[in-house]
Amino acid sequence: MTIGSKVYILSIKIKRPGVCQRYPARREPADCPGSPKPGLILLKEGVIMKLTVKECITVALFTALMVAGAYLRIPFPLLPVTLQTFICALSGLVLGARLGALSMTVYMCLGLAGLPIFASGGGPASVFEKSFGFIIGFIAGAYVIGRISARFEKPTPVNNLKALLPGLISIYIPGIVHMLLIMRIYLGNKQAGLLVVLSGNLPYFIKDVFLFVIIAFSGASLLPVVRKALYNKAS
């Protein structure tokens, strides 16, 4: 990628999986407090992100789940429920901050490249959709959930909620801000104020809080099983 007179290179190299020094059961040292962070190395002319083969597969898996989640809807009183917020939360809890955010970033980039994987389609023009801010929020939400959950040794319901609720807020902040800007500047709706946008999204926020509570309690027993299946270690 060339920006100005400098050349930035993004490459993926294969590395052996590390072990968290503080919590040996953790498979991702980049999310372990007090451990070295070999996943992201800054160079003078570029950035190299080191991923294992298994990490590449799991990132691709959650990217594919996000694509499917854009089209799958669950009947819910008053509001339809899509699975994207659910999958975003799982990516942070299961993959951790670095890989969870990466899987959401890959999903966003594929959609912007033209693949019709967003709920509204795909392509660069998607940035002008009112809901695009939530796609950006998925990246922030997965990172926040993964970063906070890495601080806890066991995924208890309370610990899961401590990670999920800040992550949900991280999803909605970019979504609300982007929606407000699109409505007022791009669509020219000067009557669209912050209270109007907040009130319009409040039912969805309440629905997602309810969904995240379910994830927190079910994840207490399911997360160790999923992590063991993916990484051959329980956490």
5-47 confidence digits (pLDDT tens): 454 444 444 444 444 544 444 444 444 544 444 444 333 344 4
Q: How far apart are the first and last CA of the chain?
A: 38
CATH class of 53-231: mainly alpha
- The residue among 139, 212, 148, 200 whose CA lies nearest residue 170 is 139
Q: What is the pLDDT of residue 24?
A: 41
Domain ranges (residues) in the chain: 53-231
Distance CA 217, CA 73 (A): 22
pLDDT digit string, tens, across residues 140-199: 999 999 999 999 988 999 999 999 999 999 999 999 999 999 998 888 888 888 888 899
